[in-house]
């Protein structure tokens, strides 16, 4: 491995990451990443227009994870009674294979610190398994560093955490490395990956989208205006039934729905049922098309 003297989080570091494949890129390449596709990663590397799903909760987790990384590393070092230093690396032979490690101890291995929720911590504690994309990320780090052992440390940022020992998986790394070489070759040769169901198509002719945008904007404005006029009429006339000009406004009362999960007998039964059993009663899914003006 080759040590690169960058401070993580700086603009210089971001540019360095853009010119290669990092640990967080690997899950997109092997298809295990829930947030990014191989096509969107390609567009990102080429600095081409990219449409992402707006998910404030994911952004919060990512930003919070970066802020709290030092705290998690400190908690892990106390647990291990040893130091793990953040470091940037490149592969000895392929300099486009990169890794920004949360921590490295040359005798003990790699630290990958993750800010995660209770469910992930519980699974890691009971089953010693971690999210698939985290596993891919760590195997990439082991590939770049040449280390044989990594520690996944999932933490809630407060007091709870779980450690899972991850060993280098030779067969997994071999397949992942082949995929990464192909991806980088495609980047250099400007061979864009095909669209997947998770990618956005950006049409050359966007006339229809412009018309739809204007129609949806008008619809939203009309709905806002009608709601304001309805409220004004109710307040002005001060009666439960109002009619005129072909318009009726009247008040009715709907019964509230029953919260069956708050019934003690039902609650006690459900809490003992397994998630797989409950899932077997889920109704058939349906497709929903959403138009967003963000």
Per residue of the chain (294 residues), what is the pLDDT tens digit? 899 988 888 899 999 999 999 999 999 999 999 999 999 999 999 999 888 876 655 555 555 556 678 888 889 999 899 999 999 999 999 999 999 999 999 999 999 999 999 999 999 999 999 999 999 999 999 999 999 999 999 998 887 899 999 999 999 999 999 999 999 999 999 999 999 999 999 999 999 999 999 999 999 999 999 999 999 999 999 999 999 999 999 999 999 999 998 999 998 898 888 888 889 999 999 998 888 887
How many other C-beta atoms lie within 10 A of the C-beta of residue 61? 15
How high is the pLDDT of residue 158?
A: 84
Long-range contact set of residues 124-129: C-beta below 8 Å, sequence gap at least 24: 124/152, 124/154, 124/162, 124/164, 125/162, 128/164, 128/165, 129/164
pLDDT of residue 59: 57
The strand pair at 149-155 and 109-115 is best described as parallel
Choose among 230, 227, 258: nearest CA to 242: 230
Domain ranges of the chain: 2-188, 203-251
The two structure tokens encoding residue 98:
């990169």
The DSSP symbol for 89 reads E
Instruction: Tell me what pLDDT residue 34 has.
Output: 93
Q: What is the pLDDT of residue 58?
A: 57
Q: How many CB atoms lie within 10 A of CB 199?
A: 16
Which residue's entry shows tokens 């999960």? 261
Which fold, 2-188?
Lambda Exonuclease; Chain A (3.90.320)
Nearest to 33 by CA among 189, 171, 183, 167: 183
Q: Where on the phi/psi map is residue 102: left (φ > 0), alpha (ψ -120 to 50), or beta?
A: alpha
pLDDT for 64? 58
- Residue 107's Cβ-side half-sphere holds a number of Cα atoms within 13 Å equal to 3
Q: What is the structure's pLDDT at 286? A: 93
Note the pLDDT of residue 160.
82
Q: For residue 55, what pLDDT is reported?
A: 62
């Amino acid at each position: 491995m080759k040590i690169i003297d960058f401070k993580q989080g700086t603009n210089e570091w971001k540019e360095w990451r853009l010119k290669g494949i990092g640990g967080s890129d690997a899950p997109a390449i092997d298809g295990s990443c829930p947030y990014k596709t191989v096509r969107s990663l390609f567009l990102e590397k080429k600095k081409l227009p990219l449409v992402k799903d707006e998910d404030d909760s994911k952004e919060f987790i990512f930003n919070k994870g970066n802020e709290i990384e030092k705290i998690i590393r400190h908690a892990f070092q106390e647990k291990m009674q040893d130091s793990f230093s953040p470091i940037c690396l490149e592969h000895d032979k392929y300099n486009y294979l990169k890794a920004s490690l949360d921590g490295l101890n040359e005798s003990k291995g790699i630290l990958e610190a993750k800010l995660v929720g209770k469910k992930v911590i519980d699974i890691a504690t009971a089953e010693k398994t971690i999210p698939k994309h985290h596993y891919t990320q760590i195997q990439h780090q082991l590939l770049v560093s040449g280390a044989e052992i990594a520690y996944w440390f999932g933490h809630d940022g407060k007091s709870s955490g779980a450690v899972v020992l991850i060993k280098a998986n030779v067969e997994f790394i071999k397949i992942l490395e082949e995929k990464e070489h192909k991806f980088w070759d495609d980047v250099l040769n400007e061979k864009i990956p095909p669209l997947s169901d998770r990618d956005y198509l950006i049409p050359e002719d966007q006339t229809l989208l412009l018309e739809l945008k204007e129609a949806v904007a008008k619809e939203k404005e009309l709905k806002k205006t009608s709601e304001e006029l309805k409220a004004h009429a109710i307040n002005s006339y001060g009666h439960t039934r109002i009619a005129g000009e072909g318009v009726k406004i009247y008040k009715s009362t709907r019964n509230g729905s029953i919260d069956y999960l708050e019934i003690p007998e039902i609650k006690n039964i459900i809490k003992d049922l397994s998630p797989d059993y409950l899932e077997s009663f889920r109704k058939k899914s349906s497709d929903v098309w959403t138009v967003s003006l963000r």
